[in-house]
Amino acid sequence: MTGLPNRALLLDRLTQTLARAEREQQPSAVLFLDLDRFKAINDSLGHAVGDELLRQAAERLRTAIRKEDTVARIGGDEFVILMAEIGDAENAAGIASKVLAALRVPFVIEEHELSVSASCGIAISPADGTEAPVLLQRADTALYQCKADGGGGYRLFDRDIDRRAHARLQLEQGLRRAIELGEFLLHYQAQIDLASGTVTGAEALVRWQHPEGRLVPPGEFIPLAENMGYIGAIGEWVLREACTEALRWPPALRVSVNVSARQLTQLDFTATAREILEETGLPPGRLEIEITESALMSDPARAIATLEEMQELGIQIAMDDFGTGYSSLGQLKRLPLQRLKIDKSFVQDVPEDPNEVVIVEAILGLARQLKRSVVAEGVETESQLAFLRERGCDEAQGYLIAKPVPAAEFRALLSGSTMPLLK
Ligand code: C2E
Ligand code: MG
Ligand code: MG
């Protein structure tokens, strides 16, 4: 249709060009181009207009390059320009902007004037590869990166980005296997009552026991699990495991489980929780779920409805990382919450930093008015602890009191053999 070479012919020419370039020790460049929003034009104005746009775009590309260069069409709206003896990457980038500028001039097709932009990924041989398919693939990767950043420009292939993309892919595959094989475990971090110094319960914190030996922290895989749609499976396992473990503790102790926004709004979380409580026999009042302010953002009505169902079941609810997100104080009053957890970023600088002191005091005052109890997170020093106790904070959690530890270690700690419980 455009009269341009296709992918097969392109690969053929690319192979020849690379062979010659190697002999003559001259860098070559591959520019991978893609029209932005072509599909929208095709869908709204019809295929005839779409085809004509591609023909005109092809013509502009042909005139923008040197005679000895090749332009090929290798997919719907994907074009590749192959340039030998490019000099250096800067030259290639210069040509890319020239080509992109040529495409930005509005196209006139039938009665339409169409403004189209394009994105371009660039790979240079020999730096980015010396084999045709590899080079093409890397230009494509650069294009993908360019699009991910909003498109409309060009981008040179970057090995670091490629490495990161590769690492992420490996993490994804690993996570898939971790779910199948159950490679997760929970650590428990004690929470204490500040007035009496006794343990009130523990927060369950998930870890991934990677087969290569590393204990992967949740920050590295929970967001990925959410994106991949795995958070439901992981969350259900965490809940069941935590409830089962809590039954081995003295009956006054509570277990807190983190629940992410996705879990709360997208899955039938209440049904799962009810089922797990029945199955394990844990009294609902001993279970607390920790939600974050962000959990209420995407679909507040749904999230609040779920929280109310949880409350009816008798489950306790805590607001985690309080103060770091979007806190609607009006909403806070209506939420069925028992506890606020002051984020460790505020606790960290008390009592030295007067600003943080004011924030912590304000949260404590607010909680008192709303009749919510307060847990301070991330308590690491005696002076922080003393400050919090003096200001009437109810509970505390942090490295000073206990680090998150495996289940058996937490039980040992409860039996008093390893931790001098703070008075
Ligand atoms: P979070 O709920 O705010 O948990 C507290 C984090 O602070 C934990 O990190 C804990 O190890 C750490 N921490 C505790 N005491 C101290 C301290 O004194 N100083 C400092 N600097 N840090 C302290 P971790 O275990 O890496 O967990 C990170 C986050 O991952 C959690 O933040 C929570 O949002 C999420 N997460 C953990 N487990 C789960 C889970 O089962 N499900 C979901 N959805 N999220 C989880
Ligand atoms: Mg938490
Ligand atoms: Mg927190």
Could you list which residues have their CB under 5 Å from ion ligand 2?
258, 290, 320
Residue 218 corresponds to which amino acid?
A: P
Q: Give me the mean pLDDT over the 66-74 stretch.
A: 91
What's the 376 CA to ligand 3 centre distance in angstroms? Answer: 9
What's the 357 CA to ligand 3 centre distance in angstroms? Answer: 18
Protein residue whose Cα sits closest to atom 17 of ligand 1: 378
Q: Which two tokens stand for residue 196?
A: 């009496």
Q: Work out the number of other CB atoms within 10 angstroms of the CB of residue 382.
A: 10
Reduce the DSSP state of residue 406 to 3 states and report it: strand
Record: fold of 7-157? Alpha-Beta Plaits (3.30.70)
Q: Is the pLDDT of residue 18 over 70?
A: yes
Q: Give me the mean pLDDT over the 6-31 stretch.
A: 89
Lowest-pLDDT range of 9-13, 59-63, 272-276: 9-13
Q: Give me the mean pLDDT over the 356-373 stretch.
A: 94
What's the 205 CA to ligand 1 centre distance in angstroms? Answer: 6
Q: Is the pLDDT of residue 341 over 60?
A: yes
How confident is the model at residue 29, as a pLDDT?
95
pLDDT category of residue 421 using cuts at 50, 70 and 90: low
How confident is the model at residue 352, as a pLDDT?
94
Q: What is the pTM of this model?
A: 0.73
Protein residue whose Cα sits closest to atom 34 of ligand 1: 258
Ligand 1 in contact with 205 (CB < 6 A)? Answer: yes
Q: Give me the mean pLDDT over the 84-92 stretch.
A: 89
pLDDT category of residue 7 using cuts at 50, 70 and 90: confident
Q: Which two tokens stand for residue 258?
A: 């983190």
pLDDT category of residue 68 using cuts at 50, 70 and 90: confident
Report the alpha-carbon distance of residue 102 to residue 58 in Å, rounded: 11
Q: Give me the mean pLDDT over the 142-162 stretch.
A: 88
- Percentage of the chain surpassing pLDDT 70? 98
What residue spans define the domains of the chain? Answer: 7-157, 170-415
Instruction: Determine the atom of ligand 1 nearest the C-alpha atom of 379.
Output: 18
Residue spans of beta strands (DSSP E) within 292-398: 316-322, 339-342, 373-376, 395-396
How confident is the model at residue 418, as a pLDDT?
57
How confident is the model at residue 296, as a pLDDT?
82
Q: Is the pLDDT of residue 170 over 70?
A: yes
Q: Is the pLDDT of residue 53 over 70?
A: yes
* CATH hierarchy code of domain 170-415: 3.20.20.450
Count the residues in the chain. 423
Chain centroid offset of residue 46 CA: 37
How confident is the model at residue 423, as a pLDDT?
44
Q: Is the pLDDT of residue 102 over 80?
A: yes
Ligand 1 in contact with 140 (CB < 6 A)? Answer: no
**Tens digits of per-residue pLDDT, 186-241?**
999 999 999 999 999 999 999 999 999 999 999 999 999 998 889 999 999 999 99
Ligand 1 in contact with 378 (CB < 6 A)? Answer: yes
Mean pLDDT of the chain: 92
CA atoms within 13 A on the CB side of 247: 14
Q: Give me the mean pLDDT over the 396-410 stretch.
A: 97
Instruction: Determine the atom of ligand 1 nearest the C-alpha atom of 218.
Output: 30
What's the 396 CA to ligand 2 centre distance in angstroms? Answer: 13
Q: Work out the number of other CB atoms within 10 angstroms of the CB of residue 22.
A: 13
Contact assessment for residue 373 and residue 366, using Cβ atoms and an 8 Å cutoff: no
Report the alpha-carbon distance of residue 122 to residue 99 in Å, rounded: 12
What's the 325 CA to ligand 1 centre distance in angstroms? Answer: 16
H-only helix segments in 229-268: 231-246, 261-266
How confident is the model at residue 294, as a pLDDT?
83
pLDDT category of residue 88 using cuts at 50, 70 and 90: confident
Greater confidence, 273 or 420? 273
